[in-house]
């Protein structure tokens, strides 16, 4: 399962940063999200769809080939998995975070990853785990590092690369830890090589819960100790490497020669929260936040897409205005000869147009749509808010020739500047963070597959070095 999820995150992020296709335009869509960093990523393909479909494909394949494939419980479980995958895919559309092509390609990518694991996963894992030599595991780790190096550099500051590095670190740790754990002789070979000794029936729920709590504590402790240590001692080494001309600079990452030290508290894009954030995390689970409905650009990719769309609509509006003016000038002599009371009589009888249109009250979303459609920055500053908690009636933005005449290049430039100033930007990132993330998450993977199981045995929360029960 680790291979499936990490592959989905890496390859979908690879395509995102390579193609740099933005999320669906907002407005007219309203985005519903609980994560601010998710909106900073590109939209194609959908990583949520990739992971949901890959997991469902793999588990359904196992269920269909299980000895209980014809039982009612097996069928119900398969139905639940189909519902799970469909709910995630359709949910990304409903939330306005992806378009149809995003979720379709993401689902196909997930299906391919799941099928690869179904047909080749067991053979692949046996190849490096059961080998007496460390060479196969090292080859895999080297290939993972190459994949990290060739990850495309996006046009905008996108956090996809951070997620890919974290997944690469986890897989590297799992590969090395699984091989070493299997060679130690303490691992089980059933149901697969390098299985951590565990039997719920033999240990019971109290031991199992204590194992989970201890395992989480060890992982968080490792991260809290290693991350600040590496961020403190790696920059001098990176400066030496940079002075030798051996550095591998990456866009949007500051080189070590350009800073003195890395701030202690860095957000990891919510991959794993810090220990100090656990109380607030638990409170948010007890009292979930209201969903945030966002309207307008949230990333640089969104802003550029909005500006391109706005410019197109502005030109269309100018063309339409010129055509309307020419048509009106041609019809004015005919209108002058007509009876001036005809329109009024038709309006009273209900057969013609009304004397003047009624003013429409629109929401802030409609106001922003009108601004985008005409290319006019007519919304007052008090109404500029990307997160809509409630929609209140506000006057609509009118479109007329006078407004177009005042739409000067300097005014558009000022509007573009204000748009980019309101964007949520990723934090400053440092070159040492890539290696730091690789080491920290490789350690987490190794802890999960080997160190923690051995610690459980040492403190009396394991199987007392017993093998799996037969039958």
Q: How far apart are CA 65 and CA 31, in angstroms?
A: 40
Q: How far apart are CA 34 and CA 292, in angstroms?
A: 6
Is pTM beyond 0.85 here? Answer: no
Instruction: Determine the distance from the C-alpha atom of residue 310 to the mean position of all C-alpha atoms in its chain, rounded to a whole number.
Output: 26
Closest Cα partner for 179 from 167, 187, 191?
187
Instruction: Determine the distance from the C-alpha atom of residue 436 to the mean position of all C-alpha atoms in its chain, rounded to a whole number.
Output: 21
Residue entry with tokens 């960093």: 37
The pair of three-digit structure tokens given for residue 22, joined into one six-digit string: 């933005």
Residues 6 or more apart whose CB falls under 8 angstroms from that of 304 comprise 22, 156
Tens place of pLDDT per residue across the chain (471 aa): 899 999 999 999 999 999 988 888 776 677 777 665 566 778 899 999 999 999 999 999 999 888 776 788 888 999 999 999 999 999 999 888 888 999 999 999 999 999 999 999 999 999 999 999 999 999 999 999 999 999 998 887 778 898 999 999 999 999 999 999 999 888 888 888 888 888 888 888 999 999 999 999 999 999 999 999 999 999 999 999 888 887 777 878 888 888 888 877 565 544 455 555 556 655 655 555 555 565 656 666 666 667 777 777 777 776 766 666 666 666 555 555 545 444 444 444 444 444 444 444 445 545 555 555 444 444 444 444 443 333 333 333 334 444 444 556 776 666 666 666 666 666 778 889 999 999 999 999 999 999 999 999 899 888 876 666 554
CB-based contact 368:295 (threshold 8 Å) = yes
Distances (CA, A) of 293 to 36, 257, 290, 373: 11, 41, 9, 21
CB-based contact 135:125 (threshold 8 Å) = no
Q: How far apart are CA 318 and CA 100, in angstroms?
A: 32
Q: Dihedral through CA 320, CA 321, CA 325, CA 326, nearest 10?
A: -40
Q: Do the bridges between strand 394-395 and strand 31-33 make them parallel or antiparallel, or are there none, so unpaired?
A: unpaired
Q: Which residues have a catalytic role annotated?
A: 48, 98
Rg (CA), the chain: 29
Q: How far apart are CA 234 and CA 242, in angstroms?
A: 12
């Amino acid at each position: 399962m680790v291979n499936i999820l990490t592959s989905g995150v890496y390859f979908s992020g690879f395509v995102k940063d390579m193609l740099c296709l933005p999320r669906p335009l907002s407005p007219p869509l309203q985005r519903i999200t609980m994560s601010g960093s998710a909106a900073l990523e590109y939209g194609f393909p959908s990583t949520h769809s990739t992971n949901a479909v890959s997991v469902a494909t793999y588990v359904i394949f196992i269920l269909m080939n299980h000895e209980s494939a014809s039982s009612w419980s097996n069928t119900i479980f398969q139905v639940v998995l189909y519902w799970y995958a469909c709910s995630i895919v359709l949910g990304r559309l409903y939330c306005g975070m992806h378009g149809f092509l995003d979720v379709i390609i993401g689902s196909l990518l997930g299906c391919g990853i799941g099928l690869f694991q179904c047909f080749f996963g067991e053979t692949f894992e046996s190849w490096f785990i059961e080998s007496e030599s460390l060479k196969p595991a090292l080859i895999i780790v080297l290939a993972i590092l190459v994949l990290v190096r060739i990850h495309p550099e996006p046009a905008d500051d996108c956090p996809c690369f951070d997620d890919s590095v974290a997944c690469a670190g986890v897989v590297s740790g799992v590969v090395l830890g699984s091989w070493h754990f299997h060679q130690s002789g303490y691992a089980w070979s059933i149901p697969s090589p390098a299985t951590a000794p565990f039997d719920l029936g033999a240990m019971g729920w109290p031991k199992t819960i204590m194992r989970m709590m201890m395992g989480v504590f060890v992982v968080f402790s490792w991260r809290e100790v290693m991350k600040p240590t590496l961020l403190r001692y790696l920059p001098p080494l990176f400066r030496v490497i940079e002075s030798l001309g051996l550095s591998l600079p990456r866009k949007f990452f500051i080189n070590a020669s350009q800073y003195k030290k890395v701030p202690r508290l860095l957000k990891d894009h919510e991959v794993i929260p810090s220990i100090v954030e656990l109380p607030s995390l638990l409170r948010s689970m007890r009292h979930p936040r209201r969903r945030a409905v966002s309207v307008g650009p949230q990333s640089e990719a969104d802003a550029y897409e909005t500006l391109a769309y706005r410019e197109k609509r502005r030109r269309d509006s100018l063309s339409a205005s010129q055509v309307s003016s020419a048509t009106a000038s041609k019809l004015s002599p005919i209108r002058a000869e007509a009876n001036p009371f005809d329109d009024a009589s038709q309006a009273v009888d209900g057969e013609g147009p009304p004397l003047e249109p009624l003013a429409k009250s629109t929401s802030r979303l409609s106001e922003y749509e009108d601004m985008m459609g005409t290319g006019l920055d007519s919304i007052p500053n008090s109404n500029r808010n990307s997160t809509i908690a409630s929609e209140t009636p506000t006057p609509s933005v009118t479109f007329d020739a006078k407004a177009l005449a005042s739409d000067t290049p300097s005014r558009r430039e000022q509007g573009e500047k204000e748009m980019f100033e309101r964007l949520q930007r990723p934090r400053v990132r440092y070159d040492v963070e890539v290696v730091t993330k690789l080491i920290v998450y490789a350690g987490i993977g190794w802890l999960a597959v080997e160190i923690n199981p051995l610690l459980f045995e040492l403190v009396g929360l394991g199987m007392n070095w017993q093998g799996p029960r037969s039958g």
